[in-house]
């Protein structure tokens, strides 16, 4: 398990906007992270009615960012390479609001394609094995 202090400096998300809490497992293609930030009152994505499930796409995108950063670090790269989320596809939501769910969310991402210009990931977010959201996220890396 990798605590947030081990990888948070590798991604551009900071403070309360860093939504993931820990990485339980990762390999060359996949990552499994957890988060309890969906229930926090200071969640920056939370609206007046709570945290809408559409925001779970950001959880999936952040898992992809952490995965890419961990892979880069494993290759010896020390600087964070910025990325921009440019597309969400095939997003499916199985709940409307998720802030009332107790315990942690499981956030999974799988790299479908990656090169120097960007990456595409499939993601899914679950609560106690029950699907909450899934889809694909595309990220580009702007020219340096």
> 80 pLDDT exceeds 80?
no
pLDDT in tens, 108-127: 999 999 998 999 999 999 99
> 79 pLDDT exceeds 90?
no
Measured between its terminal Cα atoms, the distance across the chain in Å is 32
Give start and end residues of each alpha helix (H) in 27-107.
Answer: 56-74
- Helix or strand holding residue 66 (H, E): helix 56-74
Mapped onto helix, strand or coil, the DSSP state of residue 6 is: helix
> 144 pLDDT exceeds 70?
no
pLDDT in tens, 4-15: 999 998 888 888
Strand order across the beta sheet in which 30-35 lies: 2-3, 22-26, 30-35, 105-115, 118-127, 130-140, 84-93
**What's the pLDDT at 3?**
92
Contact 135, 123 (CB under 8 A): yes
> 73 pLDDT exceeds 90?
yes
Confidence class for position 48, pLDDT limits 50, 70, 90: very high
List, in sequence order, every residue forming a beta bridge with 120; answer none if it has no partner.
113, 138
């Amino acid at each position: 398990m990798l605590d947030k202090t081990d990888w948070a400096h590798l991604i551009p998300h900071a403070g309360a906007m860093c939504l993931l809490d820990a990485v339980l497992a990762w390999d060359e293609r996949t990552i499994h992270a957890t988060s309890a930030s969906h229930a926090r009152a200071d969640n920056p994505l939370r609206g007046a009615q709570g945290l809408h499930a559409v925001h779970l796409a950001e959880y999936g995108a952040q898992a992809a960012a952490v995965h890419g950063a961990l892979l880069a670090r494993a290759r010896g790269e020390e600087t964070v390479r910025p990325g921009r989320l440019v597309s969400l596809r095939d997003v499916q939501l199985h709940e409307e609001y998720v802030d009332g769910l107790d315990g942690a969310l499981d956030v999974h991402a799988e790299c479908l394609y990656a090169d120097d210009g960007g990456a595409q990931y499939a993601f899914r977010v679950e609560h106690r094995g029950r699907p909450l959201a899934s889809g694909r996220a595309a990220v580009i890396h702007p020219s340096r």
